[in-house]
Amino acid sequence: MSTILVVDDMAICREPIAEALQAHSYRVVCAAGGAEALSILREDPPDLVLLDVNMPKPDGWDVLSTMRKNPEMRSTPVILLTDRRAKEDVVQAARHGVQGYLLKSQFSLDELLGRVGACLGGRSVLAAQVSKSEQTGSAQWRAQKTESMEEYPSSPQERKASPPPNRVADSRISPTPGPAGTLDSARSLDDLTAIITKSELTTLVNEGLDLRPLGTTVHNVIAVTGSTGCCADDVARAIASDQALCIRILKLANSSAYSRGHLVNSVKEAVGRIGVQEVRSLVMTLGVFEQFEGASAKYVDVRLFWEHSFACGLAAAAIAKACQSKNVKNCFLWGMVHDIGRLILLEHVSDKYANVWKAAERLNLPLESVEAKIMLLDHCDILELALEHWKFPRDFITPVVNHHHSIQTIKGLGPAHREVAAIVALANRLAHALLLGSSGNEVIYPLDDFVEMLGLPPSEIAGLVEKIADETNELKITILSRTTEDNWPDSADQVRQRLSKPLRPLCVSAAPDVDAYRMFCERIAHWDGEERPNVGIIYLRNAAELSALATVFDREERKRGLTNLPVIVIHDKGKVDAGFAWLRARRHELLKAPVPIKRFLAAALSSPSPAAPPDHGRTTQHQPHDAL
């Protein structure tokens, strides 16, 4: 399998390309800048490099020059994927032995794959074309290079005001809004069409962010920490005037994310424990919270939103500790801000974002899938725009904007980012499964792939569950609430109230400790002294597990004196054989992961009463294959 290194400082360009290449059986490694690219080139030499030019130093030219000076990398094929179209850039690229030159504003997936295949097959024609042009001054050659090219802004300021380059993954999406009524008539994700262009959405978001600058205290802390010789005393003085912020910093310094034994009692001690630069990011993050603390929206309870954010932060920090990661402090911050892009969309394009919510609910789909389809940018893309606007460092941005990507895409990130991106992704999924707050996206995602990628024993996750839930409950009032409300809403209780009858599940899976659907069911189950389950929940990591787990389920069923319990089978990879005799013998429903809570509850509520125990003298009629 050929390895391709994709180098681009813009995740919105880099990651869809990586995912498309992986889908065509290439091994992909990603770098978010020149320094990371050079490190990867030394440690894990690729067969081909897709290289952007416009990046902070070292930029693409620096990377290319370094490669060509190194005998081991001199012949490595390189395709430039850039927004620079001047002839002198093409000539310079050819002189460095570049195998291809594609404009971001113009290339197609088919063209990219064709160039990649040709390069890995071994021959470049660009240098020969440039040589011929320089010898003949051919106007025809110049025309070939610029024919039908669109102007694309090269400066960061111009790019911010313009639409980001089209995602490869969005190649089926119309770049212009679809006709009225297409959302209401849609029957699947593929039927949805865009309701806004990337350019319009980016402009609206940037204008909204310009009108909502971060607070004075945040700017003071940024200024202080940006000076040489900054110490904990300086930061403490910058924070001192904001008593609410001081309380939050102290509480967080004593939380599991940062604690190291004894309690700290002053902001200076808190800064010393957390770290000056980490406090800078933390204050900026809390400043972002301030932007939306009073926000209200039809589709999300902001209190539950922040509870989910803190739960994700605590989970990310706990997972990072279990992985012995060096990024524990930042993992907490990444978890806190991971979904802010969704609040920004609700604040600044609420009328259009309402269509996302309606379509996701009607089609039983995760919000991020619908966002990308009908708004062309999802909340992670919007978060990336916002963090850049607020001047967060690039190394802070990359891990957090990947939390909804596939595990294949995350594995394709550079070495500095793949582990922490997986940690944030797992923390988010864990917070969803435990119903700790709510981001408005009521979906339960599997955990096992990310647990395996991070090399965590399943028992480690089991040990984190109660710890994270308890600490979230402790923090949510102290840090998030500035009111005297008596009752903080509880997500699990809200979901439980949507059940017209108690849920008493019999859960079976190959790895119960990392079974997100078991965790979710336990949060909403209601036994009340009644010990007999009324529905079975089987989670299949792979459809091939069905036969073995059916045997396990039968055994657990008999232990409880039951037979033919209706089952909900949730499967991740592969296709379940609906003709499997065990399934046909009982009422069942198949759900594909990830599972929207609404869809799960509908299946659970439609389940009949379980069959009576065999020793009651009754006979049980096997039900034909149908839904629960």
Check if the beta carbon of residue 346 is closer than 8 Å to that of residue 291: no
The winner for highest mean pLDDT among 113-117, 202-206, 420-424, 576-580 is 420-424
Higher-confidence position of 262 and 503: 503
Task: Grade residue 486 by pLDDT with cuts at 50, 70 and 90.
Answer: low
Which of the listed CATH numbers 3.30.1330.10, 3.40.50.800, 1.10.3210.10, 3.90.1010.10 matches domain 209-492?
A: 1.10.3210.10
Q: Is the pLDDT of residue 450 over 90?
A: yes
Q: How far is CA 3 from the centre of its chain?
A: 24
Element (H, E) at 65: helix 60-69
Place of tokens 């700290």: 264
**Residue-level pLDDT at 182:** 54
pLDDT of residue 127 exceeding 70? no
Ranked by mean pLDDT, the top range of 126-130, 289-293, 491-495, 623-627 is 491-495
| Torsion angle, alpha carbons of 102, 107, 110, 112, to 10 | 30
How far is Cα 165 from Cα 145, in angstroms, rounded to an integer?
19
pLDDT at 267 over 70: yes
More confident residue, 294 or 55: 55
* Interval 215-241 mean pLDDT: 79
Longest dimension (CA), the chain: 97
101 within 8 A of 90, measured Cβ to Cβ = yes
pLDDT attached to residue 57: 82
Least confident of 138-152, 267-281, 525-539: 138-152
Cβ-in-10-Å burial (0-12, 13-18, 19+) of 241 comes to exposed
SS3 per residue for 452-482? HHCCCCHHHHHHHHHHHHHHHHHHHHHHHCC
Q: How confident is the model at residue 183 (pLDDT cuts 50, 70, 90)?
A: low
Query: Which pLDDT score, from 0 to 100, does residue 188 have?
Result: 85
Residue 507 sits at the vertex; the CA angle it makes with 505 and 511, to the nearest 5 degrees, is 160
Average pLDDT over residues 204-208: 87
Report the C-alpha gap between 215 and 358 in whole angstroms.
34
Average pLDDT of the chain to the nearest whole number: 79
Numbered ranges of CATH 3.40.50.2300 in the chain: 3-146
pLDDT at 105: 61
pLDDT band for 567, please (50, 70, 90 cuts): very high
Separation between Cα atoms, residue 254 and residue 250, nearest integer Å: 6
Neighbours of 501 (CB within 10 A): 12
Residue 138's pLDDT is 35
Confidence of residue 87 (pLDDT cuts 50, 70, 90): low
Which is more confidently placed, 128 or 42?
42
Mean pLDDT of 203-223: 79
Q: Which residue has the tokens 């990651």?
A: 15
Query: Is the sign of the CA dihedral 299, 301, 305, 311 positive or negative?
Result: negative
Which of 300, 327, 303 is closest to 316 using CA atoms?
Answer: 327
CATH superfamily, domain 3-146, is Response regulator (3.40.50.2300)
Beta-bridge partners for 101: 80
**Residue that wins the pLDDT comparison between 428 and 187:** 428
pLDDT at residue 131 in the model: 41
Q: What is the pLDDT of residue 286?
A: 74
- What pLDDT is stored for residue 169 in this prediction? 33
Record: fold of 498-616? Rossmann fold (3.40.50)
SS3 363: helix
Residues of the chain with CATH 1.10.3210.10: 209-492
**Confidence (pTM):** 0.67
Choose between 296 and 4: higher pLDDT. Answer: 4
Rounded average pLDDT over 380-402: 87
586 DSSP assignment: S
pLDDT > 90 in the chain, percent = 29
Residue 95 has pLDDT above 90, yes or no: no
Question: For residue 609, what pLDDT band results from cuts at 50, 70 and 90?
Answer: low
Mean pLDDT of 428-457: 94
Does 263 score more than 90 pLDDT?
no
Q: Is residue 560 within 8 Å of residue 530, measured between CB atoms?
A: no
Q: In residues, how long is the chain?
A: 628
Q: What is the predicted pLDDT for the residue at 276?
A: 79
Instruction: Name which of 21-25, 474-478, 602-606 the model is least confident about.
Output: 474-478
Measured CA to CA, the distance from residue 431 to residue 145 in angstroms comes to: 50
